[in-house]
């Protein structure tokens, strides 16, 4: 349904928390819906909203993905089609949260620092199972108030695999096929769900392709998406367990993030070195990549932390 309804993105199974994100305490959600009473003043004064006719720059988004996201041909293809929600799944460090930052930046220039991009972390903002009803009410008011103020609001839900079952169903009306709800349209809002659920399944499919002598680029969305949606729906440890969002087909795409190989880790290391304004030394890159750990135990094909620890490894190596 891209272009017709709200965008829902399920972004792989890696949940990396970006520093500086505009996360808010649940207790503040209800109060902040007051923004909806004066949306034009708030949006115009604090930050310039994209015009109604403006769409994300497909060329800029493609360039960002090509230059910054490595080893994820499936994610690149699906995201370009969808943005130009969905749900992202994958192993830790494969780039799910990183991609949500890229998407946010291509919607709002300030990216995750934008007042129109909202990050919710399951264990931080919704920690207590006995308060699910309260969280539902707060979440409902928060989304309604912010979309009333800014139609192109972006909502990112991190750690979906740790979210209390049933809580996310509170946003179902906003993702459904309604033109408007009480005079407010949610069709331009973007909902991104980040989850680690299904990572083992993705790893198994990817490894099976490798063991059969096939290139990872031969893996297609149809090889993963159907089984992913079923696995997440039936996973009792997932915030999407028996969720109406899946049952009613309200998630546009399940985006699988594949485990990263040694060569992809090296690409991440080089990109980080360049971002620090330093020259690339191939021997040094190999040294850092070799210090990372890989799986399975015998073949050692995939990084078990993806590119998650690259920055720390580089800092440690430079300090030595």
From the annotation, which residues make up the binding site?
90-97
Q: Is 288 helix (H, G, I), strand (E, B) or coil?
A: helix
Q: Is the peptide bond before 132 cis (omega within 30 degrees of 0)?
A: no
Asked whether 156 and 194 are in contact (CB, 8 A), the reply is yes
161 φψ region: left (φ > 0), alpha (ψ -120 to 50), beta (else): alpha
Quote the strand ranges of 53-171, DSSP E.
86-90, 117-121, 154-158
The rounded distance, in Å, linking the Cα atoms of 208 and 240 is 27
Binding residues for ATP: 90-97
Asked whether 92 and 306 are in contact (CB, 8 A), the reply is yes
Tell me the sheet residues that pair with 191.
8, 155
Q: What is the dihedral of CA 164, 169, 170, 174, to 10 degrees?
A: 140
Strand pairing of 302-303 and 294-295? Answer: antiparallel
Tell me the sheet residues that pair with 89.
12, 195
| Contacts (Cβ under 8 Å, ≥6 apart) of 310 | 265, 268, 269, 272, 288
Instruction: Tell me the backbone φ, ψ of residue 291, rounded to 5 degrees.
Output: -80, -15
Strand (E) or helix (H) holding 59: helix 58-68
Tell me the sheet residues that pair with 255.
11, 88
């Amino acid at each position: 349904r891209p272009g017709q309804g709200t965008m829902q993105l399920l972004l792989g199974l890696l949940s990396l928390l970006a520093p500086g994100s505009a996360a808010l305490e649940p207790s503040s959600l209800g109060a902040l819906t007051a923004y909806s009473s004066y949306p034009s003043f708030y949006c115009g004064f604090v930050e310039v909203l994209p015009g109604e006719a403006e769409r994300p720059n497909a060329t800029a988004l493609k360039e960002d993905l090509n230059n910054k996201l490595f080893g994820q041909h499936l994610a690149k293809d699906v995201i370009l089609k969808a943005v130009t929600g969905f749900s992202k799944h994958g192993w830790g460090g494969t780039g799910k949260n990183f991609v949500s930052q890229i998407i946010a930046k291509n919607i709002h220039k300030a990216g995750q620092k934008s007042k129109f991009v909202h990050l919710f972390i399951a264990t931080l903002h919704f920690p207590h199972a006995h308060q699910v009803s309260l969280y539902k009410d707060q979440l409902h008011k928060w989304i309604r108030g912010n979309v009333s103020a800014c139609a192109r609001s972006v909502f990112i839900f991190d750690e979906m695999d740790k979210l209390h079952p049933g809580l996310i169903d509170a946003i179902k009306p906003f993702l459904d096929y309604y033109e408007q709800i009480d005079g407010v349209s949610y069709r331009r809002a973007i909902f991104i769900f980040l989850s680690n659920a299904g990572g083992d399944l993705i790893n198994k499919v990817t490894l099976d392709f490798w063991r059969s002598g096939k290139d990872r680029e031969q893996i297609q969305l149809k090889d993963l998406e159907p089984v992913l949606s079923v696995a997440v729906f039936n996973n009792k440890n997932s915030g999407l367990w028996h969720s109406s969002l899946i049952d009613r087909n309200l998630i546009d795409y399940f985006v699988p993030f594949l485990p990263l190989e040694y060569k992809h880790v090296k690409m991440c290391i080089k990109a980080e070195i360049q971002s620090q304004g330093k020259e690339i030394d191939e021997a040094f890159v190999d040294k850092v990549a070799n210090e990372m750990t890989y799986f399975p135990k015998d073949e050692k094909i995939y990084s078990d932390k993806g590119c998650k620890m690259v920055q720390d490894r580089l800092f440690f190596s430079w300090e030595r």
